[in-house]
């Protein structure tokens, strides 16, 4: 496919994202802060795009614009060919799981299934499939405070997958987790997106996480964030084990490249 096609019809298909001349400012007058842009970015359906950059460079702002939680001060944002609307068209996972603590794991997933308009008789089957997909079989009846932080984040991922939206947005979802749990969840997210073919946009500070997860990594400059590196990640999405992938020379070289660019951008 010619690269010009990526900014055209591909971005209008389900799960495609297109940002054109986007910038976003918070506040007014002397207090105004331009958080991001101007930038153009096109994400074709099925791509796993990771946004990396220094703290405060506007990564979360960009994700919120794509989710439709904010409208850009300038430019246009399109998801699946139309302006995004909050809560529709994309599943979102935040750094904190934001669950209903008094409900069970299953109860939290049921809320998402109801919100997605899934008929009640289909809930048991859909719920079981979601719990299996995120490795939570056997804990469905536990209350949220009875499961670990990593399991809570798995519930949040299952909830975001419940509506079967073609777009999956994740804002530093593993930042608060220990290293082992983080790696295990990275592997799950990589597997789930490869299996379902969803488009993903993932925000992180970590070059390691970016290269492991992404089929493409975009590094942003310091605020206001602009694209300083747009790098395809030609590592196998299926077949190789996570251990093989992490141990490969290609992985190390890509991680070094991204680390270098993030440092240079922040300087």
In the complex, the residues that contact ligand ATP under the rule CB under 6 A are: 26-27, 33, 35, 53, 55-61, 205, 223
Closest separation in Å from C-beta 171 to ligand ATP: 7
Answer positive or negative: Cα dihedral of 90, 91, 97, 102.
Answer: positive
- Closer by beta carbon to ligand ATP, 103 or else 205: 205
Q: How far is the CB of 91 from ligand ATP (least distance, A)?
A: 19
Nearest Cα neighbor of 154 from 68, 93, 87 is 93
CA 143 from chain centre, in angstroms, equals 26
CB 48, min distance to ligand ATP, A: 19
Of 39 and 57, which CB lies nearer to ligand ATP in the complex structure? 57
CB closer to ligand ATP, 249 vs 267: 267
What is the phi-psi region of residue 201: left when phi exceeds 0, alpha when psi lies from -120 to 50, beta otherwise? beta
Q: How far apart are CA 98 and CA 135, in angstroms?
A: 19
Measured from the CB atom, the residue of 27 and 197 that comes closer to ligand ATP is 27
Q: Which long-range contacts (CB under 8 A, 24 or more apart) does 124-133 make?
A: 126/162, 130/158, 130/161, 130/162, 131/105, 131/106, 131/158, 133/158, 133/161, 133/192
Least distance between ligand ATP and beta carbon 244 (Å): 30
Q: How far is the CB of 26 from ligand ATP (least distance, A)?
A: 3
């Amino acid at each position: 496919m010619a690269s010009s096609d990526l900014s055209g019809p591909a971005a209008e298909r389900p799960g495609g994202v297109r940002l054109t001349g986007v910038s976003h400012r918070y506040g007014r007058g002397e207090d105004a802060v331009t958080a991001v842009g101007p930038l153009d970015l096109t994400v074709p359906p099925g791509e796993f795009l990771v946004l990396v950059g220094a703290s405060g460079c506007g990564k979360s702002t960009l994700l919120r614009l794509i989710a439709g939680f904010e409208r850009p001060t300038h430019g246009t944002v399109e998801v699946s060919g139309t302006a995004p609307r909050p809560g529709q068209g994309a599943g979102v996972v935040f750094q904190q799981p934001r669950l209903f603590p008094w409900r069970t794991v299953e109860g939290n997933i049921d809320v998402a299934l109801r919100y997605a308009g899934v008929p009640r008789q289909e809930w048991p089957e859909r719920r079981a499939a979601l719990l299996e997909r995120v490795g939570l079989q056997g804990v469905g009846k536990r209350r949220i405070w009875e499961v670990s932080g990593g399991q809570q984040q798995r519930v949040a991922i299952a909830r975001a997958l419940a509506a079967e939206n073609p777009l999956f947005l994740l804002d530093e979802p593993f930042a608060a987790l220990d290293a082992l749990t983080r790696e295990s969840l990275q592997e799950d997210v990589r597997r789930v997106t490869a299996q379902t073919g969803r488009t993903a946009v993932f925000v992180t500070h970590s070059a390691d996480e970016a290269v492991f997860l992404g089929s493409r990594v975009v590094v942003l400059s310091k605020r206001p964030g602009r694209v300083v590196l747009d790098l395809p990640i030609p590592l196998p999405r299926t077949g190789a084990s996570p251990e093989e992938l992490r141990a490969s020379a290609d992985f190390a070289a890509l991680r070094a490249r991204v680390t270098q660019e993030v440092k240079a951008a922040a300087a």
